[in-house]
Amino acid sequence: MSSSRIIAASELQARAERDSSARVARWMLIYILVALLLAAMSLLIGTSSLRTSLEWLRSPAALSDAVLWDIRLPRALGAWLAGALLGLGGAIAQNLFRNPLAEPYLLGSASGAALGVTVCLMAADVSLSGLAWMGELGVTGAAFVGAAAGITLTLTLCRGVLQTASLLLAGVVVAFVLGAITSLLLLRSPDTWRAMQSFLLGTTGFLGWRSAGLLALVFALCLVPAVLLARGLDALTLGEDAARSLGLPLGALRVGLLGLLSLATAAAVSQAGVVGFVGLVAPHLVRESVHVNSRQLIIAAPLCGGVLLQAADLASRWIIRPSELPVGIVTACLGGSYLVVLLWRKAQRE
Amino acid sequence: MNPTLRTARLLLVMVASLLAFQALAHEPIVLSDAAHQELRLDAPPKRIVSLLPSLTESVCELGECARLVATDRYSNWPASVQTLPKAGGLEDVQVEQIVRVKPDIVLLVHAPRLLDRLQSLGVVTFQFEAQAYPDIARNISVLGAMLGVPERAKTLNAQIEQSVTAAAAEARRRLAGRAPLVYYEVDDGPYGAGPDSFIGQELTRLGARNILTSDLGPFPKLNPEYVVRANPDVILISPAEAPNLANRPGWSEIRAVREHRVCSFPPDVRDTVIRPGPRIATGVQALADCLIRVAP
């Protein structure tokens, strides 16, 4: 079994290497271009008509400038960054656990982050929509503690059996329990219930320059080490024994990657709420379109995740404008249908 | 609401009052609730459970507080109801608690699952509507008829109407033709109060213009950009949110935020604003004071 997997993995890798990296680069360029296109669209789409938006661009005024440059642009950028962080988290999780269904949401880390945010907000009696810098940092810190605790709990529960369904089962259990604790806390303060509910359903509405800055900082902090650690991930796909024989410090590698996963999830959740499926779908979409090694996946999955959340954000504010859908509902609908297609195709192949 | 419906409801109230008079002569009380279910009572109910703060307050203002045997957890006024058994909120009602206090009737608003459960347990229920301003007077009249105190209901409604009219007249006089553009934020989803909600209707009466339009529904979830574009003169919001408005992306450009034309109410006053009940005149007065104080 394991030898056949090693053969399969090395074959995959050989194919990935044959696939010129130019092809991967071309896809990355496509993702970036789509992101820019969506950013341009999100400048034009909002509560105003297209014509009004164009007029604003031509003849600036204080108020329209605020809408265009302080709301729509940072919102598009923030959505891209949050999606990129989730995509990065998904790429790390799927490679680290060699499990195609691993992602921040299913591993309990997103629920942990949400619980951290809830506890922090209730303790300080503030709300997410109007935090200053220190508040943002505090909330992100609390989310990080929650995310790390959630994922640790999941790993403890599944006792290191990572590839099989037990990891996901443990993750789902942890996600439910932490979600229940969050709901319990919210029930105790009915005044904040509805506002927190929209956070738990995912919300991009209040992403401003401060959020975008924080997300960008965390993205840089996560992406660079993740790329550096990617070679270790590649070795891990060959199996633990193979990785150990290459002289890799497996323990340190795992802890480092789990830390990055928690940080990425925490930042995304603290700014955009609980947005499911982006972390799951982004790495799959990348792998569907091009053969990648771990390092390429770790760069391409965030690019793809960013585009996904940007598109979901556009949809959430366009479908019932000038009201707004929670963005998590949009990603769940899109991501859920994609997962069904994925499973269906897999069943067909088998 | 269309005029036919309004007339029909007025008629309903009149019929209810008339029937209540008959009750004094030991005739059965017949009422029709918001779900058009007919209720027949041989005598005014002695043991009442109320699952909405505004209904609790109405029962008490009608002088029948002693008949309440349990309330929802949010009912906190008058002070005497705080010691009553609490049966949870409308979303998480403890059915057992309700059954245990053996109520003659349970007063509630639209909650289909709970309604089915209670009815299947043989508990008598009566459903109210509490969305729009006219619901307040209508609910008090229906409760008056139900409790056998229709005259008191009439007096209470007249008092409320008089106070609200006076507050509105005073506000319009002191605003002197200014019609401030107002955004009332219910919570930071952000959900706003539309012109067809009772809060919106009160603001309109005070001479304010709402930034929301009727087609959005009574309490819509908004794209925050909508508020910035509408550029309200005055924002009414919870005390926790008020100091942070300028931190929201783009909101520092809003006139109300720039010129500090923001009102928030302490919890006890806020209750009178957001509950469509007998203390609504206090709430309207608070809204009026706010507009007079901060409107440009």
Residue to test with chain B: of A323, A327, A330, most B Cβ within 10 A: A323
Write down the pLDDT at residue A187: 80
- What is the tens place of the pLDDT at every residue in B75-125? 999 999 999 999 988 778 889 999 999 999 999 998 888 888 999 999 999
Residue A349: exposed, middle, or buried by beta-carbon count in 10 A (0-12, 13-18, 19+)? exposed
- Closest of B65, B21, B3 to residue B278, by C-alpha: B65
Which residue type, as a one-letter code, is found at position A141? G
What does R_g of chain A's alpha carbons equal in angstroms?
20
* Chain B residues within 8 A of A70 when measuring between CB atoms: 249-250, 253
d(CA A311, CA A74): 14
Task: Give the HSE-up count for residue A43: Cα atoms under 13 Å, Cβ half-sphere.
Answer: 15
Q: Does residue B173 register a pLDDT over 50?
A: yes
- Closest of A117, A31, A45, A55 to residue A76, by C-alpha: A45
Bridge-based pairing of strands B262-263 and B234-236 is: parallel
* Chain A residues within 8 A of B211 when measuring between CB atoms: none
* Chain B residues within 8 A of A198 when measuring between CB atoms: 189, 221
B231 and chain A in contact, CB less than 8 A:
yes
Angle at A235 between CA A229 and CA A237, to 5 degrees: 110
Using the beta-carbon criterion (under 8 Å), do A194 and B225 form an inter-chain contact? Answer: no
Please state the ipTM of this predicted complex: 0.77
Residues 6+ positions from A274 with CB-CB distance below 8 Å: A105, A110, A111, A113, A114, A199, A200, A201, A202, A328
* Chain A residues within 8 A of B187 when measuring between CB atoms: 191-192, 194-195
State which residue of chain B sits closest to A129, comparing Cα positions.
B248
Residue to test with chain B: of A43, A45, A47, most B Cβ within 10 A: A47
Write down the pLDDT at residue A1: 45
State how far the alpha carbon of B238 is from the alpha carbons of A195, B150, B210, B265, B273, in Å.
Answer: 12, 36, 18, 7, 12
First CA to last CA distance, chain B: 32
Name the residue with tokens 């209508």.
Answer: B138
Local confidence band at A186 (pLDDT 50, 70, 90 cut-offs) = confident
State which residue of chain B sits closest to A64, comparing Cα positions.
B229
Using the beta-carbon criterion (under 8 Å), do A205 and B223 form an inter-chain contact? Answer: yes
State how far the alpha carbon of B96 is from the alpha carbons of A281, B101, B126, in Å.
Answer: 45, 9, 18
Tokens of A304: 């793809």
- What is the tens place of the pLDDT at every residue in A98-149? 888 888 888 899 999 999 999 988 887 777 776 777 788 888 999 999 999 9
DSSP one-letter code for B221: B
> Domains (ranges, CATH) in chain B?
20-128 (3.40.50.1980), 153-294 (3.40.50.1980)
B241 and chain A in contact, CB less than 8 A:
yes
Using the beta-carbon criterion (under 8 Å), do A324 and B231 form an inter-chain contact? Answer: no
- Closest of A315, A338, A320, A330 to residue A90, by C-alpha: A338
Using the beta-carbon criterion (under 8 Å), do B244 and A210 form an inter-chain contact? Answer: no
- Closest of B93, B277, B269, B278 to residue B85, by C-alpha: B93
